[in-house]
Structure 1
Amino acid sequence: MSDIDILHQMIKDSAKLSCDKRVVLTEFEEPDSSVSISGLPKEIIVIKADAFKSPDTVFNGSFGECRRADYVIVAEKKKVILCIEMKAKKGSEKEIIQQLTGAQCFIAYCREIGKAFWEQQDFLEGYVYRFVSIGHTSIPKRPTRISRRAGVHDSPKRMLKIDWPHDLQFNHLAGVRKN
C-alpha cells in the first residue's frame, strides 16, 4: 500500500482538501484569505493540519508546542512534505516557526501511527521537508515578494517567505525540479 493510500485511510475527509493539478488554500479564521497552488503532482494529499485538535489538554503550550501550521502537502513521487502557514497580513516570525514545527511534529505522529497500526515500517521515510510562510493573503495583490535565507528551506527557521502571493507553483515551493 502506498504512503498516500495509508494517509487517505488515516485522515478524515473533513481534514483533507480535494485537488487535481491545482488547490486553493484558505486561512481558517480569514475566509477572504486564500492562495492557489498549481502544478501539483499526481500522488498527493493536502491535509488541513489545523483541523487536528490542539493537544493543550496534555501540554502546557508555553513553548508553542500546541501550535500547527495551516496545511501539510505530502507528495509521494517527489518525496516532499510541504508545511504551509498562511497569514492574512503579517505574522510574528516566532509564532510562524512554532506553527511550522508543530506541523512537522504532526507528520511525525502520523508516521508512527502508520508504522504501528498499518505495520508499514518504511511509512513516510526518505521524504524531505520544506517550510513555507505565505503572508498578506487577504490584501489586494501587489507583486509577489519572495525572501529566503541562504540554502534550502528545510527547517522552520529557514522557511521560504512569500508575501502578496499570486498563483504559486508546487515545484517552486517544494524546491524540486520537474520530473
Structure 2
Amino acid sequence: MIKATDFYWINEPQNWSREGGALSVTTDEKTDFWNKTWYGFERFSGHFFGIDVTGDFTFQVKVRAGFSALYDQAGVMFLADQNHWLKAGVELNDGAPAIGSVLTINHSDWATGIFPDGVEAFSMRLTRKGENLRLQYSTDGKNWPLLRLAHFPTFKKYAVGVMCCTPERGGLSVQFEDLWLTAAIDKDLHDLS
C-alpha cells in the first residue's frame, strides 16, 4: 500500500497540491530532464514526485494535462541517480502529442510515436523485473500496448513516480490520479491486458 508520506520531491514545483489520491502540479519555467545527446546540454530540473523502491514492482498512474507548447510533457519516471533514469509519457512535439520515452544511461536517447489527438487522459504502467523495465500505456484503461522494453543496470537504490516538465515555458497544469504500486505484473509480453 502506498502511503502519501513515503513520496518526496526532486525539484519541487512552486504550485502543487495533493487531495485524496490525486496530485495536481503546475510546472515551473524551463524545467526538463535530459543528458547531452544531440543538444549537448544537461538538464535535471524537471519535477519528480516519487517513492523509493526495491526489487520487482509495477507502478501505474493516470495522467491529465493541458499540453500546448513544444516539449510540454508528463508521465512516469524511474531513476537511480542523475545520470541513470527513464522517463515516459506524452510530450507535445511539432504541434502534436507524441507518446514516447527517454532512457538515460549517461546519455539520453529519445523514442517517440504517434499518439491519438483529443485524448483527455492516458495511463502509464512501468514494471521492473530484475534488470528489465517494461513500459506500457493505455488510453482506455483496458488495452496496454508495449511502449518500450529496456535493460536498466543494477544500483543500490531506485525511485519510481511521476514527472512533468516544460522546457520552453512554465505553467503546464497536470493531474496525476490513481497512483498505485504493487508486486510486478508478470504477464506474457504480448498480453496487452
State the TM-score, normalized to the length of structure 2: 0.29
Of structures 1 and 2, the one with the larger relative CO (CA 8 A, separation 6+) is: 2
Task: Point out the structure with the larger strand share.
Answer: 2
Task: Point out the structure with the larger helix share.
Answer: 1
